[in-house]
Amino acid sequence: MGASIVVSLAQDANNAKKIEICNNRNAAKSRLVHSSNRLQDELNHLQRECKEIEQERSELDSKIQDEEKAMSTFRHVRNDETVKFLVAIGSSGDGKSTVLNRLEGDLSKWGDNGSFESGDSDQSVTTKLFHKECTIRSVSSVLVDTPGYNDTKKRDNLHFNNLATYLYGCGGVDAFLLVVNGTKIRFDRNLQDMLQCYDRFFGAMFWNHLIIVLVRIEGVEKEKYDNTNRGEKLKQNLNETFGLDDTCNVPIIPIGYDADFTAFCGQVMDAAIEIANHNSKLSCGAIKSPIKKHRTKRRALMNRISQLNDKIRDRQGRYQEVSNQIRIIDDKLNNPEKLP
C-alpha cells in the first residue's frame, strides 16, 4: 500500500511538472508569436514604404530622362562660373552673326570667315539658333546666335518659344549682346517691342545683363560718334525709353569694319566679366531646368531606400530567428520529452 502511494505521488509530480513545462512553453510561444506578428507588421510597413519610394524614384527617373532630352542642346556644354555665356539679339540684318564671328576670332575684312553665317543685306541669314564654344581672351565662352526679331519671314511668334526650347537647361546667360545699327540714336518701334519682350521673358534683371554693340561705326560715323558723344546719348535714350534708373549702366561698345577687332573682343569680354562679377547667370522659368532639383531628390530617395532595405533585412533576420524558435517550441510541445 505504501509503495503504490509513492508511485502515485511520483506520477502526480511528473504530471504537474509536464503541465508546468507545457504552460511555460506555451507562454514562451505566445510571446514569440506576438514578437513574430509585430515583426511581420513592421516588415510589411517597411516593404510598402520601400515600394512607394521605389515608384517615386522610378517616376523621377523618367522626369530626369525627359529633362536630359529637353536639355540636349547644351547637355555636353560646360557653363559654370568660369564660362561666359553670351547670346546675340537684335533685328534682322543688323550684324549679329558678324559680331559673333569677330568674338570668335575672325579678323577677315568683312567678318564672314567664322562659324556664324552672315550676310550683307537686311535679309535674315540666321534662321535657326546656333551656338559655338570658343575662347575669348583666355576665357572659355559660349556664343549663341539667334534669328532676327521681326525677321523677314515674320517668325516672331516662334521667336521666344524657340529661344526657350534652345536655351532650356543651358545654365543661364551671362550677357545679351544687343547688336544695333550705330548710325541711329533712337530705338525704333521694333527694337522697343523686342526689348520689352525680353524684359517680360527674363524679368527686370535682363537689363543688368545687357551689352549694346553699335555696328557700322566707321569712317565719318566714327568721327560723329566720338564728337557728338553718341554713346552717352543712346544710353540716356535707353533709360528714358524703358524707365531705367541711373544705376543701370548698360555698356555700349562701338565697332566698324575698320576697328581693332582684338581690342573689341577685349571690351566685350571685360563688360561680360564685369556683369558676371555683380550678377549670377540670368535664367527664368522657361529655360531653367529642374533637373538639379530632381537629381538631389533622387539621391535622397536612394538613401532612404538603402536605409529601408537595411531595416527590412534586419526584420527579416529577426523574424526568421523568432520563427525558428517557435518551431522548436512546437516540436517540443508535440513531442514532449519523458521525465524520469
- Flag whether pLDDT at 323 surpasses 50: yes
Residue 81 contacts residue 319 (beta carbons within 8 Å): no
Given this model, what pLDDT does residue 152 score?
A: 47
**pLDDT single digits (tens) 54-72:** 999 999 999 888 888 777 7
CA distance 104 to 132: 8
Residue predicted with more confidence, 339 or 293: 293
Any idea which of 22-26, 114-118, 158-162, 168-172 has the lowest mean pLDDT?
A: 158-162
Given this model, what pLDDT does residue 124 score?
A: 52
- Flag whether pLDDT at 10 surpasses 70: no
CA distance 29 to 31: 5
**pLDDT single digits (tens) 299-321:** 999 999 999 999 999 999 999 99
Share of the chain above pLDDT 70, in %: 91
**pLDDT single digits (tens) 215-259:** 999 988 888 888 888 888 888 888 888 888 877 889 999 999 888
Given this model, what pLDDT does residue 281 score?
A: 94
What value does the mean pLDDT take over residues 185-212? 87
Given this model, what pLDDT does residue 2 score?
A: 60
Residue predicted with more confidence, 248 or 267: 267
Give the pLDDT band (50/70/90) at residue 46: very high
Residue predicted with more confidence, 248 or 34: 34
User: Rounded to whole angstroms, what are the CA distances from 148 to 82, 238, 260?
Assistant: 29, 20, 26
CB atoms under 10 Å from CB of 33, counted, come to: 14
Given this model, what pLDDT does residue 285 score?
A: 78
Share of the chain above pLDDT 90, in %: 46
Given this model, what pLDDT does residue 288 score?
A: 77
**pLDDT single digits (tens) 112-159:** 899 898 765 444 555 678 899 999 999 999 999 988 776 444 555 567
Answering whether pTM is above 0.75, one says no
Q: What share of the chain is helix, strand, coil (3-state, %, to 5)?
A: 60, 10, 30
Distance between alpha carbon 230 and the CA centroid of its chain, in Å?
41
CA distance 104 to 335: 91
Q: What is the mean pLDDT of the chain?
A: 87
Give the pLDDT band (50/70/90) at residue 168: confident
